[in-house]
Amino acid sequence: MTAVLRTENVTRIYRTGAVEVAALRGVTMQLDVGEMVVLLGPSGSGKSTLLNILGALDSPTDGRLFFRETDLTHASDRALTRYRRDHVGFVFQFYNLMPALTARENVALVTEIAANPMPPEEALSRVGLGHRLDHFPAELSGGEQQRVAIARAIAKRPEILLCDEPTGALDSATGITVLEALDQVNRELGTATAIITHNAEIRRIAHRVIHIADGRIAREEVNTTRLKPSEVRW
Ligand code: ADP
């Protein structure tokens, strides 16, 4: 498989005054083209820190990060901004939508500055919201708002989608509609997707699961059989 994103022995130490916390302690992993990976681990195990480093929102204390063949470890701020803008979509636990803008307008904020975007209507249709284009966030359920956030993240056709607890604020039935949207995007657009969760059931929808514990990769497993999001229960 070809890696679209790869880390080599990444560490991340947070220093607060005299106190040091090693959030990551030597993580070597990759995300392959078109793959869906779940990063599973308990709260505080280092998942968000890893995702932030993969998305160049944070940089490692030590170790290296590659996007395809490009070593981003010591890239300039400008190059990192370009990497994030052109290649990475982000989805967070809280949707961060602009309340005064409709679903379509929230997505258009991104498509107006992207090089080769899809129309906002197409992005919203891909997450099952083709009938909610002109609704404001307050008129949408939590799951629908998260799907607008996914539409916004994919509208620029990124190669990589990084999701930090995308169902963390949702009940299970609603969370499943969000996982369905992520699954559909992964299948139809081939977007390499990493999903952080502490919910072990969600691992069943992934191609591969990376278990994180105490800042390290504890183990990896490949799902020979994947469940559809609608078959997952928690
Ligand atoms: P997870 O996403 O698995 O819950 P995090 O990556 O958020 O874990 O955190 C890993 C460890 O790093 C935790 O011990 C956390 O307290 C610590 N940490 C995270 N962010 C910071 C920060 N900005 N400053 C200091 N410590 C942090």
Tell me the CATH number at 182: 3.40.50.300
Q: What range defines the domain where residue 80 resides?
A: 32-56+76-231
Q: Residues of the chain whose pLDDT is less than 70?
A: none
The verdict on residue 6 lying in a domain is: no
The answer to whether the CB of 23 is under 6 A from ligand 1 is: yes
Ligand 1 atom closest to residue 196's alpha carbon, by position in its atom list: 2
- Amino acid identity of residue 144, one-letter, is E
15 CB near ligand 1 (under 6 Å): no
Q: Is 101 a member of any domain? A: yes
Predicted pLDDT at 138:
97
136-192 pLDDT tens trace: 999 999 999 999 999 999 999 999 999 999 999 899 999 999 999 999 999 999 999
What does pTM read for this prediction? 0.96
Mutate to test the pocket of ligand 1, among 16, 48, 51, 195 (most ligand atoms within 8 A of CB): 48
Q: What distances in angstroms separate CA 19 from CA 11, 15, 46, one per listed residue?
A: 16, 6, 17
22 assigned to some structural domain: no
CA nearest neighbour of 104 among 92, 115, 91, 120:
120
What is the best residue among 10, 13, 21, 196 to mutate for testing ligand 1's pocket, by most ligand atoms within 8 Å of CB? Answer: 21
Residue 132 lies in a domain: yes
The verdict on residue 105 lying in a domain is yes
Instruction: Please tell me if the CB atom of residue 41 comes closer than 6 angstroms to any atom of ligand 1.
Output: yes
Q: What is the atom index within ligand 1 of the atom nearest the CA of 43?
A: 4
Q: Residue 64's pLDDT is what?
A: 98
111 lines ligand 1 (CB under 6 A): no
Provide the domain count of the chain.
Answer: 1
Q: What does the alpha-carbon distance between residue 60 and residue 9 come to, in Å, rounded to a whole number?
A: 10
Q: Is residue 50 a part of any domain in this protein? A: yes
Q: Is residue 10 part of a domain?
A: no
CA–CA dist 30, 217 (Å, integer)? 12
Residue 69 lies in a domain: no
